[in-house]
Amino acid sequence: MGYGLLAAAIAAEVAGTTAMKYSEGFSRLWPSLLTVAGYLLAFTLLAQTLKTLSVGTAYAIWAGIGTAAVAGIGMLFLGESASLLKVSGIALVIAGVVVLNLGGAH
């Protein structure tokens, strides 16, 4: 249950961050409202996740996977540059989350 809530929290955070790109500095109403709603949902779900997962594990996964997902969205859909160095950095973020969990973060 905890990991399912965490996945939903990550999805909400990624959606909120993506909407923020389209809010143009919070000057556009609907993307701004989606940003706020995404982050409100993300933090609510993350708080629920912390009832069953340790804070270190949950936050590492939430931040790492969220960062990697937003970077990937930027490269695939928002016209941001994709270089070997950038993709390697994303892979290292994901590897760091995996190693942290294998190393007994919980």
* pLDDT < 50 stretches in the chain: none
Does residue 90 contact residue 70 with C-beta atoms inside 8 Å? Answer: no
Angle at 89 between CA 85 and CA 95, to 5 degrees: 140
Question: Can you give the pLDDT at residue 103?
Answer: 76
Give me the number of domains the chain comprises: 1
User: What pLDDT was estimated at residue 34?
Assistant: 98
User: Quick one: which of 17, 20, 104 has its CA closest to 65?
Assistant: 17
pLDDT for residue 105: 54
Residue 18's domain comprises 2-102
Residue 100: predicted pLDDT: 84
The pTM score is 0.91
Place of tokens 């500095």: 25
